[in-house]
Every structure is written in C-alpha cells, then in structure tokens.
Structure 1
Amino acid sequence: MNEGIPEQLIRRLSDASRLVPLALLAVVAAVIYVWRPLFHGLIYRVAYSPSLLILVGTTVVAGIALVFWPRMGEDPLESAVTKWSILGTIVVAALVLSVAYSIPAGMAEERSLAQDATADAEAVTDFPTVNEENPRIVPEAVANVQTKGSVSYRQHELGASDIARTEDGRLAWSYPIQPGPFQVRLSGHQRGVLLSDMTAMEDREMQAFDEHEFARGQAMLFHRSADWGLKKSDYWAQYRDDPVEFVHDGEAYMAFPKTGHEWRLTPVPHTVPVWEGVALVHQDGTIEHFDADEAADSEVLDGQRLYPIYNAQREAESLRFRNGIVNQLPIVGTFEGVIEPAGLPSGAGNEQPFTIDLEGEEMAYVMAMEPYGQDTRGLDEVWFFNAETGETVYYETGGDTLLGPERATDIVRAEDTRTDWDTAGSDGEFRAVEPVPVVVDEELWWHSKVVPTDNSDVTRNVFVSAHSGAAVELHDTEAVIDFIEGEDVEDIDEAEEVGEVGTEPADEEEDIAYYVVITDEAGEEVDRIPVAAGEEVTIVDDTDDEATAGD
C-alpha cells in the first residue's frame, strides 16, 4: 500500500500540471478582455483581414493545441523543443499561405469596393453648386499658427484640427483643447473645443468653448479617453477619421465617423469597408452610437460631416478596378477607363479628398481623378461624396481637358513673376497652398491661397480655371465671395484677372526642347516661342524691373 502512494501522488501532480496551461490561458483571456481597447487594432484586423486571420488564427490554434498535447517523449525538455519546432514549421507555412492569399483577396476587395462605389453613383452633366458664403479661404497651416498664437493654456494645448460647421453655418477649423504634459494627461481632462473661422481673410473670428470639461476626451489616457470609451462601447468598428469637434446650442461635442467591414465570399473570401454610422461623445462622458439613418436625422449632427473620409478615399482609389481585375493588370490588361486620384503639388498642405461646402450647407468630399499611369495632369472625372449621406455623383470630362490641382498651382506661380516663390531648389518667401475645387457659373476652378513661408497670414486668393487656365487674383473676402457668385472680374474691387504663361513639351522636332506658351485673359493662345535645348529663358514683367530666369 505504501508503494502505491508515490504513484498516486505523481499521477495527481501530472493531472495538476495539465491544468496550469489552462489556468494561464484563462488569465490571459481575462486580461485581454478587461484591457480590450488596447488590443482593438490587432483583434479587429485579424477578424477582418483574410491574410492575418490565416497567419494569426493558425498560430494561435496550433500553439494552444501543442500546449495541451501529451508529452512527446520521456524527457520534458526534449518534448518542449519538439513542440517549438513543430510550431515554428506551422508558423512559416501559415506565413507563406497568408502572403500568397493576400494578393487575390486584395484584388477581390478592390473590385468589390469599386462595384459598391459605382452601383449607386450618378453621372451628372453639371457640377454641383457650391455654397458661395462658405469659401475655404484660410489654409490649415495659417489657422494653426494664428490660433495657437492667440490662446494661452498652462496645462492644455490645441490638438489636431479638423473641419466643422459653426452654429451660424460657417465652416471653421476645429481643435480639441486637450491636456498637454504627461501628468495632466493622466489626471486632467479635455477642456472643450476651439473654432477658428476659415471663411474670411480679415477679422477672422475664434471661439473658445472651454468652460466645461469633457469627462472623456482626447489625449486623456487609458479608460478616461474618448478612444477607450468608443472601442469599449462598439468594439467591431474602426474610428479612422479625426473627430469633428463642434458646438450645438452652446454645448461642445465630438463626432466620430465609424468604419466597419463585412465579409464577401466570392470570387474568394474577402472583406470590404462599409459605413457603420457615427459615435457622438457628450461632455458628460455619454457616448451615443447612431447608424447612418439615425445620424442623418439627428438635430445635433445636422450639417456636420458624418460619412468617413477614409471610406470616400478608399472608394475613389478602388475605381481603377471598376472594369474588372484583368483590365488593369500589366501585360494582359487594356486599362480601359482606369483612373486614379490626381496628384497634388509638393507642399500643397492638403490631400484628397477635398472637403468643401455645397449649396444648402451640405458638405461634400471631392476627388479629382486623372487617367491611371499616364504622364499627365489633366482630369478625367471629378467625384463628389455627400459628407452626410455618402451618396455620390461624378462628372465626366469627356472630350474636354480639365486642369488638375498640380497644373493649377503651377499657373498660380507662373502668372506672378514678381513673387519670390518657395519652390523645389529655392528658398523663397511665399507658397501657393491648399488648392481646392469650386464651381463658378457651372465651371470648375481651382482655389489656391498664397501665404508666406511662416504661415502667418493669407496674402491673396488665386482662382485658376480648370477649363481655360485663366487665373484671377482676389485680395479680400468680399472679392472672393463676389467672384464665386459669378460677378465679372471687372466689376469686383480688389480683383485682378491675369493670363497664363506656361511651358509645353515640344513634339519630336530637332533642337527644340519645349515651347513657352503665352495666353490672354480668356485663356486663348497668343504666342508660342520655341526654346532650344540648353537655352536660358528669362521672363520679364514690363511693369517692374525684376526678372526671373531659369534653364
């Protein structure tokens, strides 16, 4: 009987040892659940990324199975080495499989997204009418310098800016007044929001709503942050957009557009991003989740942007797949109707999609699209995404050639040779920034702003016609509004119409590198000067003794 006691004890210890991994697994699962917002990015991506699901899912399942698998051999150390070797082999195989599968799954995702984008999109023959009272006059960089230089908070700072609508209907750059130092982020609170008017060159208004703190806010750490509360209250959504800080009936709010994903099974299993609605954060810490219809009907959210910019951008980028996957593949594809977002000039200070205000105080995201893979800056289509509903319309240029934002910015600099421009290879004093599309008399214009390199102010606004290349300089807010309303330049004070002086590549003619093309105010070509290779060109303004030279 005494001889059986050690054997029973050993058996019990062996049984208990098998419970240790199970207990550890339960502890790990409990920790992940309690701190689940910290793991949101990884868990969400694994759940909605086929390739990551293959890699991580296979690794986790194999790892758990090997932990509970009986010992392989008599020696515990040798068994552990064997199990690690098996797990390593499985991980490598899963990695190869996930990489291989990501290629067709990625193409299928782009194709499905392109089909979704075009299914309900409406082709229009006229550009949507813009809101003349809400031009984007002040660039973000200028607003940042002026706003941050006008406020003083000892323990707070202004966070990243976004575009919001004020209570009187104007567009403004909005900022969270968030905790600054690390110690304050641990215990302090976001101190309301600040709005800086973007629709005026002079006498710009700034409003600080900083009397009441947010119980959950930005830059507040861990469970006290708005991000933590959002992920805990709706785990299966992504918050890829910056929040919209705004004020309604004197109370500050933050709205977070939500992006979700859904699985599609054909032609291979894949996922696509979809709109999941909006999360609204109150100052008392309450978080309301609205689906798309509820958000559109909300009085508090009326006029704000609700549709995720991320979704609009992804849909526009997927349009290269709208005529099929094979159509845009190298060698075998014909690239019929393949388009991509138009390029922006270096240092423009903004990116697509552009946010503008349409008639009826309805914000929209605009994507200017050009032919894919072509060495051109001309537009092929212009897409408008309703920022409140996600509905889309698009304008096809057809046989017309419309200038894109990059070419329009070149014209802004070319039409004014007296300005010391800050361009690649030179350290000038002024830049042309933030070209955004506007519609004047049913024609598309590119609205750029000229600012000093220190972003201290806006010196003038310049509009360039996407149809003719004609440029108009405007020097105050009233002139900008009058021009957008369709008044003739001759009838607008503080306005100046200028022609275009540009260059154009030469056809395959010997000894000619390019032509200098001069157009009048109407955009009509008045002269074309051939320039030989290596020849230096100097453009002189007869009204001023300054000149600009270049190779």
Structure 2
Amino acid sequence: MNELSESVETTSSATSFLGRLAALAVLVGVGYVLRPFFHGPVYAMVYSPGGAIVLGLTGIAAIALFLQPRFGDDLIDSIATKGRIVGFVFAVSLVLALLVGIPAGMLEQRTMAEQTMDEAVELEEFPEVNEDNARVITRDVSDVQTRGSVSYRQHRLGDSDIARMEDGSLAWSYAIEPDDLRNRLIEHQRGVVMNEMTNIDTRTTETVDDQEFTYGEGMALHRSADWNMKQGHFWSQYNDDPVEFIHDGDAYMYYPKTGHEWHFSPIPHTTPTWDGGALVHTDGTIEHLSPEETQDHPVLEGQRLYPLDVSEREMQSLGYRNGIVNQMDVIGAHEDQVEVAGMPSGAGNSQPFVVDLEGEQLSYVTAMEPYGEDTRGLDEVWFVDATTGEFEYYGTGGDTLTGAERAMGIVRSEDTQTGWGDDFEVVEPIPVTVDDELWWHSKVVPIDNTDVSRNVFVNAHSGDAVEVHGDDAIAEFLAGDDPDEVAEVGDVDQEPAPDEPAVDYYVVIYDEDGDELERIPIEPGQDVSLVSETE
C-alpha cells in the first residue's frame, strides 16, 4: 500500500513538473513572438557585464524556483517564499553588478579610446568644407517653415534629421507619420518631406507623400519599423534616428545599427561597434546590411551610414586615452586630457556636428577642449567619416582656438544694434574650414524662428567676425574669397515692425560710425538678398 502511494506521489510530482515545464515553454514562446518588446533588457543581459549579472542570476533563480514543487501545502505561502528568494538573489546580484560594472565601465572607455587613437590619422591642415553645401537653414527654422507649408489631417511631420537630396544638397528630412492614437494604430506613414538647408534665397522642398510605408515611423507596435527591424535582426541596437530620404522618386528610411564586442581582459567588458544598417522600403522590405554592404548599396550613396551614437561615445572616451588613473579626480594628473567641448544654452545643436566636406563627403565633426571646468578654448578637432567610420583629427599644437560659446558671444558683442534675446538670437554654430582656418558659422534668427536673418562667421584663430548675406556670398566666402570684401558685423541690421501689418521688418544700413544710412521696409513673405560689393 505504501509503495502504491509513493508511486502515485511520484507520478503526480512528475506530472506537475511537466506541467510547469510546458507552461515555461509557452512563456518562452510568447516571449519569442513578442521579442521586440523585451529587446532592451535582453540585449543588456547579453552585452553588459552588470546587466548579465543582474538579469542572468535573477532570471536563473526565477526559472529554477518556478520549476520547483510547491513549498508546503499552502499555494500563497509558497509563492511568497519563492518571491522572497528571488528578491534576495536580485539584491545580491545588484551589489555584484555594481562591483563589476564600475571598473568594467572605465575599461570600456579606456578600450574605446585606445582603439580610436590607434585608428586615427593626424592631419597637418583642416579639411575643406563643401562650399555648395553650407548648413544655412537651422533645424528650428526648417521645422517652422516646413510644418507651415504642409497640411495633413491624419498625419504629422516627425522629428527632423539630416539627409542628402538627389541633387547632392543637404536637407532637413521628415517622416510623414500618423498622428494621434487611432491613426497610429490604423494609418501608415505616407512618405517623406525634405527641406533643403543649404540656401536662403532659392531653397527647394521635395515631397513624396503618396507612398505608404508598410512598416514606418509613428506606427504602433508590430506595424512600426522599429518592431520589425528587431524581429529581423535582434542582436543590434537602433539608437540613431532614421535617415529619411528620396532616391529615384521613391521614399526610403535608413537606420544605422549599433552592435557590441566583448573583451575579457583584464575583466569582462564590452565596446560599441558599427553593425551595419537597416534599409526600409515602402513595401515592407527591410534589408539588413553589413557595413561593407551599406557602402556599396546604390540607394545609400551619399547618405550618412555610420551611427552618430557610436561616434559620440568614441569621442567621449578620448578623455581616457592616457589611462584610467590620469583622468581621475584628486589623484589624476589630467595630462593631455581632452573632453568634448560643451555647447552653450540656446545654441540649438549638439556635437557631433554633421558637416559636408569637399567631394560631398559627410563627416561627424567634434570640437575637443582641454580638461578643466573653466576651459572653453579648443585643443583638437576630430572628423569621423560618416560613410566609413574612419577617424582623422587636427591638433592645435598648443595654440588654443576659440570655441563655440565664445564665438557666439563675439557675434552678439560686435553688433550692439540688435535686440538680442528680445527680437533675435544667435544659434547653431557649426565648425567650417576655409583656407586651412577654422571658422564658426552661426546664424542670427528671429525669436519665432520664421527665417534666417544673417549668417555670421567667426575666425577661431583670430576672433574676427564676418557677416555674409545671400547664397552666392556664402559660397564665395567658403571658397576662400577675401573676408575684407564681405560686410562686417554691424553694417546691416534688422528691426521688427510689430505696429505695421504691411511691413514684416526693416533692413537698416549703418555707416562705419554707426549712423543710420537707410531703412528698407520688407513685406511679409518677401525674399531678401543682400550683396556687399567693393570696387
């Protein structure tokens, strides 16, 4: 009788275990189908030492306890006991993760810095910019102008990003994505809008709004491009915003992919790498491409391919290039330590800057300043090829150059006629190189960001400021024309006309002594081109 009872208990226990195993298999299956939803923590567990410890140990403990028979006869007490055990394992693993994660994080920075310096080529002179592709129209101005020129009842323009138009010009590009919850669940992204950024007088807008994306931006859950990219290639991160562009009349989106590489010495740590990219077609086709395949793909020619996310982290790591101890507070010597130059509040952009160099070669440009709380001058300027990810940098050789914050201050201080902060502001300083000299290209815009009033260049070597008006004049300046032949800051000003509805603003011209020479009324919507000519 006892043997029969033991046999029944054994059979019941085995059946219970098989039931729990089957339930676990169902959970795993559901998790696999919904894997894009769990992408973040699973990826962190595989490619982060701290994440691997916390999620790994806690996950193993939770699965083991789930498969264990009930503790005692009371189901509620058993669940509570198993929960306390899992909580204890989580707390212990969290402490272990901190002990391992802190040095692993510093080693990640050190390894990235070593890799970057090993691959970098030091330049003897600055690379020249593409004179035909200056970044003239700011992001905020483009957003105001572009959103004011389209009308979609069920759609909206997504966040803007930089892409290349079919004629080679740079543009702010936008996805035409569904708006509001109902439309996000039902409607499709209906194309792409590109607003040229390289001209003031004759810029163009290219729109493809009759091509629906099967998987796109602003579309919810399994209908989104993000969900389907993670389903097709799970072991990559998609941290960058998409590059929306038009090729041969068709709309596309490209997503740079970030991967990670394990290093097991002296302690395990990982570093981010370029893992290729995903090219999304309107018909739902998603091409997962290696770095080499992205560079050879005809549709992607001229576009940004390398992840901005990876470039930014590589530049931030350069503070560790002389070792971990060197950059530490109190005990570190900070010898030859650099850091990414900070951007002033209200600048409207951040590093790395996307700049088009000669030959239509997009580059991520990062200005570095010497370590120090009060240091604002530049020590190095780094260029990351946006197609290949190759590194180049120019060192100042001890000559500190003017940084973005000081350059914006020079623009304001050289022009005392403008009501800074009340009517106009200086925004989006971009580093450009002209005749082997670095200049900061800033824009003066009205507070409402309806247009770009002026383009001002500040020489990072001398601090000289030059104001340039008109597309041709900007191109000529970038081509190396004599700055003395261009109107200096303060020669021309704009003043708003709030009490005169027929006048948008006045263009005011002053002589060398600051006396007003002429006041020209500009009607709303009227295009203005000012050209300085000298005999």
Shift of 1:332: 2.2
> 2:379, 2:398 within 8 Å by CA — same for their partners in 1?
no
> 2:382, 2:391 within 8 Å by CA — same for their partners in 1?
yes
| Aligned residue type for 1:469 | G
Q: How does 1:441-480 map to 2 (within 5 A)?
A: 441-480=435-474
Shift of 1:80: 4.5
Match of 1:398 in 2: 397
Shift of 1:110: 0.4
Q: How does 1:210-359 map to 2 (within 5 A)?
A: 210-359=209-358
> 1:470, 1:498 within 8 Å by CA — same for their partners in 2?
no
Bigger shift: residues 433-442 or 87-96: 87-96
Match of 2:527 in 1: none
The CA deviation string for residues 456-496 of structure 1, in whole angstroms up to 9 with x for no partner, is 1100001000000000111221111111111123434xx32
Match of 1:208 in 2: 207
Q: Which SS does the other structure have where 1:469 is aligned?
A: coil
Distance across 2 between alignment mates of 1:105 and 1:140:
37
| Aligned residue type for 2:285 | T
| Aligned residue type for 1:343 | G
Distance across 2 between alignment mates of 1:431 and 1:284:
44
Shift of 1:312: 0.7
TM-score by length of 2: 0.89
| Aligned residue type for 1:101 | V
Match of 1:51 in 2: 50
| Aligned residue type for 1:418 | Q
The CA deviation string for residues 198-239 of structure 1, in whole angstroms up to 9 with x for no partner, is 011123211111122111111112222111121111110111
Distance across 1 between alignment mates of 2:69 and 2:286:
49
Distance across 2 between alignment mates of 1:255 and 1:442:
33
> 2:363, 2:383 within 8 Å by CA — same for their partners in 1?
yes
Shift of 1:37: 1.0
Match of 1:437 in 2: 431
Cα gap change, 1:322 to 1:131, in 2 (>3 Å): same
Cα gap change, 1:169 to 1:75, in 2 (>3 Å): closer
Shift of 1:17: 2.6
Cα gap change, 1:13 to 1:486, in 2 (>3 Å): same
Distance across 1 between alignment mates of 2:294 and 2:215:
21
Match of 1:526 in 2: none
Distance across 2 between alignment mates of 1:79 and 1:192:
55
Match of 1:64 in 2: 63
Q: Which SS does the other structure have where 1:403 is aligned?
A: coil
| Aligned residue type for 1:208 | T
Distance across 2 between alignment mates of 1:156 and 1:136:
28
Match of 2:514 in 1: 543
TM-align CA RMSD = 2.0
- The answer to whether residue 181 in structure 2 is matched with residue 179 in structure 1 is no
Shift of 1:278: 1.5
Match of 1:86 in 2: 85
Percent same amino acid at aligned positions?
55
Match of 1:387 in 2: 386
Distance across 2 between alignment mates of 1:386 and 1:84:
51
Match of 2:100 in 1: 101
The CA deviation string for residues 299-336 of structure 1, in whole angstroms up to 9 with x for no partner, is 11111000000111000000001111111112221111
| Aligned residue type for 2:298 | E
Q: Pick from 482, 488, 499: which aligns with 2:482?
A: 488
Q: Which SS does the other structure have where 2:303 is aligned?
A: coil
Shift of 1:87: 2.6
Cα gap change, 1:421 to 1:266, in 2 (>3 Å): same
Distance across 2 between alignment mates of 1:78 and 1:248:
63
Cα gap change, 1:429 to 1:104, in 2 (>3 Å): same
| Aligned residue type for 2:445 | V
| Aligned residue type for 1:313 | E
Q: Which SS does the other structure have where 2:130 is aligned?
A: coil
> 1:278, 1:290 within 8 Å by CA — same for their partners in 2?
yes
| Aligned residue type for 1:214 | F
Q: Which SS does the other structure have where 2:298 is aligned?
A: coil
Distance across 2 between alignment mates of 1:434 and 1:177:
25
Q: Which SS does the other structure have where 1:65 is aligned?
A: helix
Match of 2:369 in 1: 370
Shift of 1:70: 4.8
Shift of 1:39: 1.1
Match of 1:532 in 2: none
The CA deviation string for residues 216-269 of structure 1, in whole angstroms up to 9 with x for no partner, is 111112222111121111110111111111111111111111110010011210
| Aligned residue type for 1:118 | M
> 1:353, 1:366 within 8 Å by CA — same for their partners in 2?
yes
Distance across 1 between alignment mates of 2:76 and 2:313:
51
| Aligned residue type for 1:311 | V
Cα gap change, 1:70 to 1:178, in 2 (>3 Å): closer
Q: Which SS does the other structure have where 1:449 is aligned?
A: strand
Bigger shift: residues 379-388 or 368-377: 368-377
Bigger shift: residues 172-181 or 58-67: 58-67
Shift of 1:276: 0.7
| Aligned residue type for 1:392 | F
Match of 1:527 in 2: none
> 1:472, 1:498 within 8 Å by CA — same for their partners in 2?
no
Shift of 1:13: 3.6
| Aligned residue type for 2:266 | P
> 2:17, 2:69 within 8 Å by CA — same for their partners in 1?
no
Shift of 1:82: 3.9
Cα gap change, 1:77 to 1:281, in 2 (>3 Å): closer
The CA deviation string for residues 355-375 of structure 1, in whole angstroms up to 9 with x for no partner, is 010000000000000012241
| Aligned residue type for 2:228 | G
Distance across 1 between alignment mates of 2:272 and 2:149:
40
Q: Which SS does the other structure have where 1:23 is aligned?
A: helix
Q: Which SS does the other structure have where 2:52 is aligned?
A: helix
> 2:303, 2:387 within 8 Å by CA — same for their partners in 1?
yes
Distance across 1 between alignment mates of 2:12 and 2:126:
78
Q: Which SS does the other structure have where 1:317 is aligned?
A: helix
Bigger shift: residues 180-189 or 17-26: 17-26
Q: Which SS does the other structure have where 1:366 is aligned?
A: strand
Q: Which SS does the other structure have where 1:26 is aligned?
A: helix
